[in-house]
Amino acid sequence: MSELNTPKPTRIKAPRWTTPEGRLISWGKYCAPGVDEKTFPRYAYERPDQFPVGRRKVDFKSYEAMQGVHATNFLVAVRRKKLFEEFPHLNTTVSDGRENEYPNLLEDPRIAFTTLFDVRYQLGSKDIAIVQTSDVLNFHYKGISLPPSSTGYSMGRTVADLAEDIYLEHGDVKIFEMGVGSGIIMASALRNYGGENMTYIGGDIDERCLSIADLSMQVNGFDPETYTLRQGSLLEPIDSERVHMIVSNPPYFPRSMATANDDIGPGLALDGGDDGLDFYRRIFEQAIYKLVPGGKILVQVSNVNLQQVRELAEGYFGGHVTTQVVRHGGRRIKQFTNKGKGILVEFAP
């Protein structure tokens, strides 16, 4: 019987973490996996000034400098460079209108730059975060506003898509958002809107949230002619005006759950009344007096209250509206489903 040939074991290369160049490649691949790994050592060696850390520079040629804490320093430096490239308005002074100015955001010791995933646990001892969600930045103040979310960004993209349809039909667009908070829906809508003549009105009962939203719009570089921020409860900020669309992520926790989840954010942003539907009722009650004919209402929901909100809208407006469920990513579904992130209510012209 012939002897079977056994394959030779595959040789596994050890990580190249024993030299400065190896460390740089590894960290570079972590920061930007789509970039040729050879780019990082060459670029860093030629232009160390592009990687400032505080008042110092990282010496990429020094073995000692690439040890320990410098791994973190390098990640911070690359992150900072990428942020400056993507958001040049980080170089400008922004003001919240409440005697607080931020002349150098990336060096400000009060601010933490965080990823989107669970901002609450990334703040540490700091009270202010700047959170990147896709191609927008949002300020977040602990205890004042809810952290920005990917769902909020997705809702903003849906707003932008609907706004483009409205623009094609009417030649202009006016949108009102109730409870603008940190401005994640607003920022996403402004970033993704491809038409012209859009006016976005953000309202909030808490003037601190309006200041936070204004900072968010400034740091993204949005044209101040395209948005305005107004204080007031519910739909009060638009007074006698009529708009094409009303948008909101209202408080939707039942009161008992809002109390149990107060670590998520302030109670004002969570407490939706005994059954979690109080704000939806009030929006639907007032919306008919604030919308142009053929107007739209887009409200954020959870999988728990989705069907309740849809039935509530259909109960208020009957055959005068069509309702759709908005899935994460913006897909709209007319048929029954118990999974979704928003309810879109569209009035007949």
Type of residue at 109: P
pLDDT value at 348 more than 60? yes
**Local structure of residue 253 (DSSP, 8 states):** B
Token readout for 77 is: 């430096």
Q: CA-to-CA distance for 52 and 37, rounded, in angstroms? A: 20
Evaluate if residue 171 carries a pLDDT over 50: yes
Q: Kindly state the tokens that stand for 25.
A: 């490649």
Q: What is the pLDDT of residue 170?
A: 95
Q: What is the pLDDT of residue 180?
A: 96
Residues 29-45 have a mean pLDDT of: 57
Q: What is the mean pLDDT of residues 54-59?
A: 53
Q: What is the mean pLDDT of the chain?
A: 79
pLDDT above 70: residue 29: no
Q: Which residues, 6 or more positions from 300, have their beta carbon under 8 angstroms from its beta carbon?
A: 151, 152, 155, 185, 248, 249, 250, 252, 341, 342
What is the pLDDT at residue 32?
Answer: 54
- % pLDDT > 90, the chain: 42
Q: Which three-class secondary structure state does DSSP give residue 71?
A: helix
* CATH, domain range 150-347: 3.40.50.150
pLDDT digits (tens, 9 = 90+) for 325-335: 998 777 787 77
Contact assessment for residue 324 and residue 301, using Cβ atoms and an 8 Å cutoff: no
In the chain the first and final C-alpha atoms are separated, in Å, by 85
Lowest mean pLDDT among 43-52, 96-105, 228-237, 274-283: 43-52
Q: Which of 3-7, 73-77, 141-145, 341-345 has the lowest mean pLDDT?
A: 3-7
- The pLDDT value recorded for residue 5 is 52
Distance CA 180, CA 272 (A): 16
Higher pLDDT, 321 or 106: 321
Per-residue CA distances from 330 to 151, 340, 341, 344 (Å): 10, 10, 9, 11
Which pLDDT band holds residue 1 (cuts at 50, 70, 90)? very low
Nearest to 89 by CA among 191, 165, 10, 210: 191
Q: How confident is the model at residue 228 (pLDDT cuts 50, 70, 90)?
A: very high
CB 185 within 8 A of CB 249: yes
pLDDT in tens, 273-306: 778 898 999 999 999 999 999 999 999 998 778 9
- Residue-wise pLDDT for 195-222, tens only, equals 999 999 999 999 999 999 999 999 999 9
- On the 0-12 / 13-18 / 19+ scale of CB atoms within 10 A, 6 is exposed
The confidence score (pLDDT) of residue 252 equals 76
Residues spanned by CATH 3.40.50.150 within the chain? 150-347
User: Residue 49, Cβ neighbours under 10 Å: how many?
Assistant: 7
